[in-house]
Amino acid sequence: MANKLVIIDTDCGIDDAQAIMMALAAPNLEVLAVTCVFGNATVENVCQNILRVLSVCDRQGIPVFQGSAGPLVGVNWSPFSDHFGGDGLGDVLEDKDPQWKEKIQQEHAVNAMIRLASKYENQVSLVALGPLTNLALAIRLDPRFPQKLGELFIMGGNMEGKGNVTVCAEFNFAMDPESAYVVLEEFICPTYLTTWEYCCRNALTWEFFEELVNQDFPAARFMKAVTSKCWAYSKEAMKNKRDVYFGPGFVSYDSYAMAACVDGSTVLESIECPVRVELQGSMSRGMLVLDRTKSLKKSHAVRVMSKCNVKKFGRLLMESLKQPWRK
């Protein structure tokens, strides 16, 4: 199978780690770079988390770039949620690498994205798993950046106005609404959106989760450790949160966007329509709006995923934790 060249832009929390492992396990993907952004943790923590994930999978050769430390606008933003712990990986890992900075590339993440998209014009799939700050900066530095991309997958936003960080907004978009706005107004490349509700409506069972993390591989043991004390992976803690809308289930958010990149057939149905991000509103700032009646008169439409082949998705997840491979 022809190799798909991929750049992963991430705010490496636990589900990013899972999604990245899926990319590393996919035989048809070649990960050119991992670019880091603030979000689930500080960008410094995100860099360290990525190095750790690559090391668990024995894939340290993939270059890691440090990117934006905060959103485009706003000083009073809440730096990160406690969703995946203060360090983004469940606050259970102790042996920090004092030399981590030396393992991060000197080039800024945004410059690296532009350089790679220019070098491999129209061949790169960009998978964005965190706030979209690096992407928004990339188009300001190089207005042709979106044209140079092959395709763009985004985990972020919502399609039913249900929020997970505010009443109406999803975390990645709420962390930097202006960047999400810029990307969805100006990125004219083929764009696929994995919304919060899409993930929640296509949840796997908690039994599946047990089977997933109890596999006898280093990657599975890592995932078991980082989820062990995390409320987002606790059946009990979710009862008053996500379950209120969607019922119980295990949801690995970012993995749905990565699965769509790895194998388009994991997406059974999607809605093709223009979208816009709400920037105002006391409750709706950061909310994604779907314009299904074309009222906004926009020329560019995106694909908003609506139905997942959960069986196929589950198989990709299961395979992704069977790492590293002995060659």
Is residue 142 a contact residue for Ca ion (CB under 5 A)? no
Which of 24, 31, 129, 230 touches Ca ion (CB under 5 A)? 129
Closer by beta carbon to Ca ion, 12 or else 148: 12
Torsion of CA 113, 115, 121, 122, to 10 degrees: 0
Q: Which 176-215 residues touch Ca ion, going by CB under 5 A?
A: none
Answer for the pair 250, 232: CB distance below 8 angstroms, yes or no: no
Query: Of 4-12, 239-247, 265-273, 279-287, which part binds Ca ion (CB under 5 A)?
Result: 4-12
> Other CB atoms closer than 10 Å to residue 61's CB: what's the count?
7
Answer for the pair 47, 100: CB distance below 8 angstroms, yes or no: yes
Q: How far is the CB of 12 from Ca ion (least distance, A)?
A: 7
Query: Of 58-66, 72-80, 129-137, 190-198, which part binds Ca ion (CB under 5 A)?
Result: 129-137
Answer for the pair 270, 257: CB distance below 8 angstroms, yes or no: no
121 by DSSP, 3-state: which? coil
Closer by beta carbon to Ca ion, 49 or else 142: 49
Is residue 16 a contact residue for Ca ion (CB under 5 A)? yes
Q: How far is the CB of 271 from Ca ion (least distance, A)?
A: 23
Is residue 232 a contact residue for Ca ion (CB under 5 A)? no
3 burial via Cβ count (<10 Å: 0-12, 13-18, 19+) = exposed
CA distance 3 to 262: 10
Please tell me what DSSP assigns to residue 101: G
Is residue 157 a contact residue for Ca ion (CB under 5 A)? no
Query: Of 12-20, 116-124, 136-144, 186-194, which part binds Ca ion (CB under 5 A)?
Result: 12-20
Query: Of 11-19, 100-108, 215-223, 316-324, which part binds Ca ion (CB under 5 A)?
Result: 11-19
- The distance of Cα 250 from the centroid of its chain, to the nearest Å, equals 16
Is residue 87 a contact residue for Ca ion (CB under 5 A)? no
Closer by beta carbon to Ca ion, 257 or else 316: 257
Closer by beta carbon to Ca ion, 36 or else 275: 36
Which residue type occupies 30? E
Closer by beta carbon to Ca ion, 11 or else 87: 11
Q: How far is the CB of 128 from Ca ion (least distance, A)?
A: 9
Query: Of 7-15, 28-36, 60-68, 231-239, which part binds Ca ion (CB under 5 A)?
Result: 7-15
Q: Which of 9, 11, 15, 176 is catalytic?
A: 11
Site map 237..266 versus Ca ion, x via CB under 5 A: -----------------x------------
Please tell me what DSSP assigns to residue 279: -
CA distance 9 to 27: 20
Q: HSE of 307 in the Cβ direction (CA atoms, 13 Å)?
A: 2
- The distance of Cα 78 from the centroid of its chain, to the nearest Å, equals 19
- The distance of Cα 236 from the centroid of its chain, to the nearest Å, equals 25
> Two tokens at 13?
């929390």
Closer by beta carbon to Ca ion, 179 or else 274: 179
Residue 16 CB partners (closer than 8 Å, separation 6+)? 10, 40, 49, 88, 129, 130, 254
Closer by beta carbon to Ca ion, 187 or else 196: 196
Is residue 130 a contact residue for Ca ion (CB under 5 A)? yes
CA distance 323 to 75: 40
How many chain residues touch Ca ion (CB under 5 A)? 5
Q: How far is the CB of 15 from Ca ion (least distance, A)?
A: 6
Active site residue 263: no
Catalytic residues, by residue number, are: 11
For binding to Ca ion (CB under 5 A), which residues are involved? 11, 16, 129-130, 254
